[in-house]
Amino acid sequence: MKNILVIGATGQIGSELTLELRKRYGNTHVVAGYIQGAEPKGELKESGPTEIVDVTDQEVIEAVVKKYQIDTIYNLAALLSVVAESKPKLAWKIGVDGLWNVLEVARMHGCAVFTPSSIGSFGTDTPHTQTPQDTIQRPRTMYGISKVTTELLSDYYYTKYGVDTRAVRFPGIISNVTPPGGGTTDYAVDIYYSAVKGEKFVCPIGEGTLMDMMYMPDALNAAISLMEADPTKLVHRNAFNIASMSFAPETIFAAIKKHVPGFEMTYEVDALKQSIANSWPDSLDDTCARNEWGWKPMYDLESMTIDMLQKLRAKL
């Protein structure tokens, strides 16, 4: 990777990924692509080039790729799970039609493409414990359907046109920097804010609901490490299971309460979020990612909790 375009650079992952890429590759080599109404601010705006890049406009994408001689595109444009259910047509337009535009530009200009998939790409028929790398994927949400389609479309462009497509299936991502934006796993971020603010947390996910989660530093490292990996060693491409930790609401509550003894939590289950969570894996088997490109997370629940509380106390 020499010159990188991040589409969706002001989003939950994109804002932090863009800065991390700039640290590793140099500020001038990473372009932050954004849409009108979601302009970069602060360090994200000041540290490197920014351009309006609407994933639904192929000509705009191509113009930016040519202007900056882009060789790698991180395509992070998507609606999160709960939002996608309320706007399914828009979710498809951004997630699938948008990816088609990115892949066409990549095909014409020789770019590698990273488009994240998700644990949402599985469904109720998928084995929920240690979900295999290769297994049935029959989701019943528009978010999940679009993610399965991005996996297949990315594979198609690799096998038919030789476009270097790669992806991971992200679990729920927990960040101390970017606030949640409409995902099923957002409770695992909100709960830390409540603890630091001294507020009782009202959990929208039911007790005993296991979901795979990951701390943002590990997510960023996965996205970058996969794109840096030796392509000759990749048996799979779109998309790799990656795992770090799996827990239910009562587990993360107990982890926080060790450090915030007076913290309290109650439950008010959100029916939509719960139904989505029930269709997702409890845990993932990430053996292929570990074997093919050396994936290894740095954080578990305890180390993440310590870091989250420390960072949020300083922030708030």
**Residue 182, pLDDT score:** 67
Tell me: do 119 and 202 sit in the same domain: no
Tell me: do 95 and 59 sit in the same domain: yes
159 located within any domain:
yes
Tell me: do 119 and 204 sit in the same domain: no
pTM here is 0.92
Q: How many helices (H) and strands (E) does the chain have?
A: 13, 14
**Residue 136, pLDDT score:** 95
Tell me: do 222 and 126 sit in the same domain: yes
Tell me: do 78 and 162 sit in the same domain: yes
- Any residues with CB less than 8 A from the CB of 295 and at least 6 apart, and which? 222, 225, 226, 240, 242, 286, 289
pLDDT digits (tens, 9 = 90+) for 18-32: 999 999 999 999 999
Tell me: do 302 and 278 sit in the same domain: yes
290 located within any domain:
no
**Residue 17, pLDDT score:** 97
CATH number at residue 184: 3.90.25
Residue 304, SS3 per DSSP:
helix
47 located within any domain:
yes
- Any residues with CB less than 8 A from the CB of 217 and at least 6 apart, and which? 298, 299
**Residue 34, pLDDT score:** 96
**Residue 74, pLDDT score:** 98
Domain boundaries, position 269: 172-213+245-283+298-315
49 located within any domain:
yes
9 located within any domain:
yes
Tell me: do 125 and 178 sit in the same domain: no
Task: Please count the structural domains in the chain.
Answer: 2
Among residues 25, 34, 74, 143, the one annotated as catalytic is 143
Tell me: do 118 and 53 sit in the same domain: yes
SS3 letters for 21-56? HHHHHCHHHEEEEECCCCCCCHHHHHCCCEEECCCC
273 located within any domain:
yes
CATH number at residue 88: 3.40.50.720
Tell me: do 191 and 106 sit in the same domain: no
Tell me: do 189 and 133 sit in the same domain: no
Tell me: do 125 and 192 sit in the same domain: no
Please tell me the distance from the alpha carbon of residue 162 to that of residue 2, in angstroms, as a whole number. 19
293 located within any domain:
no
291 located within any domain:
no
List, for the chain, all residue ranges whose pLDDT scores fall below the cut of 50.
Answer: none
Tell me: do 88 and 145 sit in the same domain: yes
Does residue 25 carry a catalytic annotation?
Answer: no
